[in-house]
A and B are shown apart, each in its own frame.
Chain A
């Protein structure tokens, strides 16, 4: 039996993204969280003495990597060296080999994969462990690197583990790097596929395990939930996975049932209680609040102030360990009580009929703009829906015949 830790996407010292309304000082403070999560990983390794540690890419957050991030990372590796734990690193798109940045000397317990797929071997209690992997030689690897991985020979006493930083072909939510298919992975006959790149923890396949451990610490609202790494135990075709949480700050969403809400206090208390519950479970949390089952009373209550104001009030009353990032109001009865006039409907119907090109055309002033374009996230379907919703709201609010 062998035991190892599988982690990826550390994104050490990366700034928090997509947060506009939190004081920068506090954000800077929160930045320590990636280090804290890494520290947890190192401590766990020191304590449990795994046979080795796999780090599948994206240790840093790109070319903006800070010296202190590297320094701390190396210090952590040195501690593993002290504990005689070998470490295998394959760099990913964010920390590819082509980068022209200061490199710190890594301790000699660390094996770094080169730009081509390589196999590194080590012997653990008589078992011959063969670890296959590669590092990104440049930022964009569109090539399906999976083709270069050797097939496992399946000799007894041999364990094959693949390290691959990339995403499934055809998956559109992420930029596609080193695309692969599940079948291609399984076909290699490895005992374990240690993946990286996707920040959401997921188990693509069970036998053999094909695992995205997710990142160590969430960094924006799309990286919700408790984050961590996997502790893996492999034994002749039997594997057990143990998720070890490391995140010190959790992005999460709380749902507030507003059926009976009539007073601001009730709502604030409900939010605080829900937040406290999350904080107690996960530690410090960044929370978006989803208000559901909004009755007429609650609707009236919420119409009293703007969403921004509600958010501000909520933050003012918040505990230091909870930060309320956003408010969502689901099925606001405003729309059902105040029906759109045929006019408004016909306007809204216009948007529904737009195709991809229409959207591009409509938004080209900003999205196609030479200067602003690069700062914007690509126009996803979600985004389009949201924009339609927002635009509809603008029109409805202005033209509602029930005014």
Chain B
């Protein structure tokens, strides 16, 4: 494997740098701080990953901010040209591997490319610096082995530790002769389980014999059972035979007895029937006796009773009781009617005023018809008319005289109020004055149109009022008032005149007129009134005088009328009185009572008629009563007072009725009793016959022998029953007939049989037990879960053991592999490396030292060509380094096939002189055909030592513009 080119995108101080490496040896030269180590780290980190992020110093992240990482082009024998690029990404960076054929890969491919070497392993073999040479003194064969195995110290140690651990685990699992390790424990368990299985299997083997024995037992059981059954049957028969003997004896005895008693018949239920008949007979007889006694008794009683005729008569009387009562009542009512009517008649006669019998007779005979009454009525009417005419005329007369008197009074009053003669004169003069006055007024008013007409009117009104007051005073003859009126009139008249004078001021006429008006101012109304009053007085006086005259004429005519009318009335009255007398009616009575009189007369006549009728009725009733009493007496056969006649009759009737009822009762009893007697007689007859029949059936004649027969019969029955019982017993025992009745022999046989039975029973019980045990055993064996369980457990344990064995085996294999690896290392690989190292050392020291060897304690020793051995520490620095380099280079060569990596060296030759250096370069040049060498140095002198080598000056690479091709 060769690194052809480094392309740094950004790493530490370098960015955008491309470095082409040589095919064989490449010397990278630079001053301190020029960036050699950076390139060294770049190679390692791109191949094996950036250090963790917490280790910033070693990460070489560019400060310039250019992209972190870069790529390395590798030419590998196996993989061809491969480009490994690592850029910033996860902690170790993101890696991409690009192969020649265009495929790409990641970490896995890189791992393959790097032959699964990690950085530590790589560094331990393929990269060395002087610093590492320091440890050479301590280096021993183990160290060399570790290096050889590219595992570093930890790897080998872990491996060795692992081996120990595995051994320990193995020991926990299994020890050849241990007891406690798991597998040993399991082994023991397995052995025990096997033992158990063996026992259980042995148990299973018991099954077959058990089954065979079971069949045998079954067979024997059947035999024994039949034996037992036979014995039981035999014993039973024998026992029966024994039982038969006394039974037969008994039977014979009974038969004899029955024989002796002889044949005997007895009606079934005979005794009961007979007893029943007996009791029935007695009962019937008792009833019969009692009935005949009663019959006689009742008959006697019946004879005593018997008054039917009288009872009928009394009943008839009783039936007439209501008639009697009616008669009595009629008597009472007639009596009271007569009294009432007589007094009525007396009252009426009194009213009519007829005390004498003749008068009475007359009244009674009087024609009281309506015609007669009508005639009287007309007369009365006539009298009344005349009377009314007189009265009305008298009234008229009085009225007219009153009118005449009143009129005269009026006239007198009028005259008293009559006006004075001046007044009458003034009144006469007034109409002319008034005419002038009104002319004057009109004139004035034209002159002063609007001169207080109201006040003028007021004055007029005042004047009128004065006149009225004065008039009133005159009329009422209250002179003060009249005077007052006049005064007022005067005042008003003055006022009036004052006013009427005013308008006449314009001219003379006016003056004149006004004077006139003024003169009569306010007096106009008074004058008008006066005038009117005077006129009224005159007219009234005339009228009243006329009326008085009329009245006086009326009075005269009325007095004449009255005289004639009184005469006429007197005539009418006389005629009426005459007529009354004719009728012998009290004439003194007034005309108003005529209808009343007639009513009374009619009433009297009626009362009289009723009275006569009632008297006749009473007489009749008396006769009937007497008749009644007579018949009662006859029936009751004794004197009876009229008052409590019917009380007596009723008593008698009740008595008779009671007697009749008892008689009826007795009769019925007689009838019943006679029937009872007859029935009982028949019954008795029947009973006797039945009894006789019973007796006949029993073949006896009387009761005593009947009972005897019964006793005998019963005894025979009992015997027969016993006999039957014995027969039945014998029947059930018939199977024992064969044994006869030799008791002794039978007993003997019986004992024998019992013994056999016992023996069989014992055998059966034993066999049954055995069978049960066998059945149980076979069944248990058939359903034996324990065996199954053990089997399964055994299998499980076995599986477990196998699993543990596998576990043990894997550990054993691993441990063995480790041991073998280590062994092989020491025995094969290490000597090979040493041989090669010896050669190199020999060459490097120019034969001064023959070889390197390993001291038994593991330390290296260098042997000089004279055979003298030196410990490494005893060697000079350069020789020491030569030894170290020889070992490392031989290691690398040894691993060439497995790990053909470039060898990277960081200034390893500083202590070498020119000669040694030339030996060294010679060796490297030789090795460079198989390995690429990359040598970092700060010594310019080193470069010329490799004429074929590619020299790169770090300080020159800088940031060349062509640097990076991404």
Contact = CB atoms under 8 A, between A and B. Distances in A.
Contacts of B792: 15-16, 24, 27-28, 31
Contacts of A28: 785, 788-789, 792
Interface in A60-113: 63-64, 66-68, 71, 100-103
Contact of B805 (A372, A386, A393, A395): A372
Interface residues of B, number: 68
Contact of A399 (B121, B158, B789): B158
B6 interface: no
A156 interface: no
B115 interface: yes
B678 to A, nearest CB: 99
A388 B818 CA distance: 13
Contacts, number: 178
A320 interface: no
Contacts of A372: 174, 183, 187, 801, 805
Contact of B799 (A20, A31, A71): A20
A350 B118 CA distance: 21
B806 A24 contact: no
A71 B150 contact: no
A341 B176 contact: no
A19 interface: yes
A297 to B, nearest CB: 16
A103 B788 contact: no
Contacts of B824: 350
Contacts of B155: 341, 343, 399, 401
B821 A347 contact: yes
Given A24-B792, A66-B204, A66-B784, A365 B174 contact: yes
B648 interface: no
A377 interface: yes
B381 interface: no
A305 to B, nearest CB: 19
B289 interface: no
B44 to A, nearest CB: 16
A388 B813 CA distance: 7
Nearest to B815: A391
B166 A394 contact: yes
Q: Which of B150, B803, B809 has its CB near the most chain A CB atoms (within 10 A)? A: B809
Contacts of A17: 795, 798-799
Where chain A touches its partner, the secondary structure class is helix
A100 B806 CA distance: 35
B748 interface: no
B811 A394 contact: yes
Contacts of B820: 350
Nearest to B822: A347
Nearest to A377: B802
B884 interface: no
Interface in A358-403: 362-363, 365-367, 369, 371-372, 375-377, 383, 386-388, 390-395, 398-399, 401
A395 B823 CA distance: 17
Nearest to A61: B791
Interface in B379-435: none
Q: Which of B118, B201, B204, B208 has its CB near the most chain A CB atoms (within 10 A)? A: B204
A388 B149 CA distance: 21
Interface string B103-134: 00001100100011110110000000000000
A366 B787 contact: no
B810 interface: yes
Nearest to A398: B162
Given A67-B207, A343-B156, A350-B820, A363 B788 contact: no
A355 B516 CA distance: 205
A339 interface: yes
Contacts of A343: 149-151, 155-156, 159, 821
A67 B821 CA distance: 56
B783 interface: yes
A366 B183 contact: yes
A253 interface: no
A264 B388 CA distance: 161
B613 interface: no
A342 interface: yes
Given A28-B792, A342-B899, A394 B814 contact: yes
Interface in A23-55: 24, 27-28, 31
A363 B116 contact: no
Nearest to A386: B806
A237 B894 CA distance: 71
A141 B754 CA distance: 64
A401 B207 CA distance: 66
A265 interface: no
Contacts of A342: 115-117, 121, 149-151, 898-899
B781 interface: yes
Contacts of A363: 809, 812-813
B661 interface: no
Where chain B touches its partner, the secondary structure class is helix
B116 A341 contact: yes
Interface in B205-222: 205, 207-208
Q: Which of A18, A24, A346, A367 has its CB near the most chain B CB atoms (within 10 A)? A: A346
B809 A387 contact: yes
A17 B117 CA distance: 45
Contacts of B331: none
Interface string B138-154: 00000000000111000
Nearest to B197: A64
A347 B818 contact: yes
A366 B116 contact: no
A39 B460 CA distance: 170
Nearest to B125: A342
Nearest to B829: A346
Q: Which of A66, A348, A365 has its CB near the most chain B CB atoms (within 10 A)? A: A66
Contacts of A129: none
B796 interface: yes
A16 B795 contact: yes
B639 interface: no
Contact of A369 (B149, B176, B788, B810): B176
B817 interface: yes
A387 B813 contact: yes
B187 A102 contact: no
B255 interface: no
Contacts of A68: 782-784
A13 interface: yes
B174 A366 contact: yes
B808 interface: yes
Interface in B239-273: none
B794 interface: yes
B874 interface: no
A68 B824 CA distance: 60
Contacts of B816: 350, 362
B788 A346 contact: no
Contacts of B158: 398-399
B166 A375 contact: no
A101 B809 CA distance: 38
A121 B69 CA distance: 89
Contacts of A15: 788, 791-792, 794-795
B556 to A, nearest CB: 170
Interface string A121-150: 000000000000000000000000000000
Contacts of B107: 337
A401 B818 CA distance: 17
B190 interface: yes
A164 to B, nearest CB: 29
Contacts of A394: 162, 166, 810-811, 814
Q: Which of A365, A367, A395 has its CB near the most chain B CB atoms (within 10 A)? A: A395
Q: Which 4 A-B pairs have the closest CB atoms?
A: A390-B810, A391-B814, A343-B151, A391-B813
6 contacts: A64-B201, A341-B151, A350-B820, A372-B187, A391-B810, A398-B162
Given A342-B117, A365-B812, 6 more contacts: A64-B201, A66-B204, A341-B118, A343-B151, A366-B805, A388-B813
